[in-house]
């Protein structure tokens, strides 16, 4: 088992994403690092997803070099 944190990114800020982010925040080994949103300037996003970088769109999140993708 690794001692580092699992860094998560979420596509879209909907209700399921908020519930997932809450679970990540409560975990001992998870960290939410980014959120891809169609409207990154939407009021309340930073408060709903504290600590996450809010990126301009899904493509921006998928192209971000700091986000590792698994298939």
pLDDT at 67: 82
pLDDT at 2: 56
What kind and span of H or E run contains 54?
Answer: strand 53-56
Is residue 30 included in any domain, yes or no?
yes
pLDDT at 12: 94
Query: Tens digits of per-residue pLDDT, 23-61?
Result: 999 999 999 999 999 999 999 999 999 999 999 999 999
Distance from the Cα of residue 45 to its chain's centroid: 11
pLDDT at 25: 95
32, 67 Cβ separation under 8 angstroms: no
Q: What is the mean pLDDT of residues 2-18?
A: 89
- Number of structural domains in the chain: 1
Domain span at 16 = 6-51
Is residue 63 included in any domain, yes or no?
no
pLDDT at 4: 85
């Amino acid at each position: 088992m690794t001692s580092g944190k699992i860094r998560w990114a979420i596509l879209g800020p909907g209700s399921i994403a908020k519930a997932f982010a809450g679970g990540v925040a409560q975990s001992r080994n998870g960290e939410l690092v980014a959120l891809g949103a169609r409207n990154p300037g939407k009021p309340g996003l930073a408060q709903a997803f504290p600590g996450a970088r809010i990126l301009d769109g899904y493509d921006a999140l998928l192209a971000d070099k700091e986000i590792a993708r698994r298939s």
